Amino acid sequence: MAKLVFDIETSALPVDDFDHSQQEYLFREAHKLPEGAERDNRQADIYRMFSLWPFTAEVVCIGMLNAESCRGQVLFTADDFEANAAEDGQVEFIPCADETELLTAFWDVAKHYDGIVTFNGRGFDVPFIYLRSALINVPISRKDWLGYRYQVEPHCDLIEQFTFYGISGREGAARRFNLDFYCKAFGIESPKAHGVTGMDVGNLLKEGRYRELAEYCLRDVRATVALYQVWRERLAGVK
């Protein structure tokens, strides 16, 4: 069964994209505080959260690899979208004009796969791209990816597998760790080893460093593929 391993990067939309009532709703918690540094800091904290919500952020990059062949693509939005796509071994970097083009290209690839592998895709990546696609009216080719939580088909979410579906809660033996921690524990190169993290996405976009963002996303996907192999061989017993 062909499996697609993917990861997305998102970026907050400008505050001015929202009308007065939407802004009031989004920043209501901050507005309860008196004017001053505390209120400003809380408002900044809320804006940083925008990138986590599909109604306040957009998809700017999607990295995809075939779980078996490790061939794939990285789709990313870029101002110089007419430039020729660059090749890096088995992976093609494809600049897109906007989010609509990016998501359309993603769903065109997705329809050729029977299943997916993610790291926290059930909690973030899949609902995010579903809702963003619906918001900008991009047809979704696979609507079954959330599936039944306690099965690994069609969606194997590694965060669910390494926590045994949250059996230990927040502090038990199977507590949840981030991808960087799991990678280091299992001797896999961390996607953060090159000095870029998810916190840098906004600045990379502002500075026009689109290829660096795409390469960071690809490192996330490659780490997820390696962690998936660990899970298959040592925990799932799948060869």
Residue 88 pLDDT: 59
Mean pLDDT score across all residues of the chain: 92
Residue 182 has pLDDT above 80, yes or no: yes
Mean pLDDT along residues 61-83 = 89
**Could you give the C-alpha distances from 219 to 7, 38, 128, 188, 222, in angstroms and in order?**
10, 37, 20, 11, 5
- Domains of the chain from N-terminus onward: 3-18+56-236 (3.30.420.10)
Mean pLDDT along residues 201-208 = 87
Tokens of 197: 């993290």
Interval 151-162: pLDDT, tens: 999 999 999 999
Of the pLDDT bands very low, low, confident and very high (cuts 50, 70, 90), residue 84 is low
Mean pLDDT along residues 104-115 = 96
Q: Which residue has the higher pLDDT, 111 or 199?
A: 111
Residue 196 pLDDT: 75
Residue 219 has pLDDT above 80, yes or no: yes
Tokens of 99: 């989010």
| 3-class DSSP assignment, residue 170 | coil
Residue 22 has pLDDT above 60, yes or no: yes
Task: Convert 7-65 into a string of H (helix), E (strand) and C (coil).
Answer: EEEEEECCHHHCCHHHHHHHCHHHHCCCCCHHHHHHHHHHHHHHHHCCCCEEEEEEEEE
Tokens of 173: 């033996």
Mean pLDDT along residues 28-34 = 93
Q: Could you tell me if 201 and 213 are in contact, meaning their C-beta atoms sit under 8 angstroms apart?
A: yes
Of the pLDDT bands very low, low, confident and very high (cuts 50, 70, 90), residue 166 is very high
Residue 189 has pLDDT above 70, yes or no: yes
**C-alpha Rg value of the chain to the nearest Å:** 19
Of the pLDDT bands very low, low, confident and very high (cuts 50, 70, 90), residue 81 is low
Selection from 131, 132, 102, 115 nearest residue 5 by Cα: 115
Which residue, chain included where needed, has tokens 């009216």? 137
pTM: 0.93
Q: Which residue has the higher pLDDT, 202 or 114?
A: 114
| 3-class DSSP assignment, residue 97 | coil
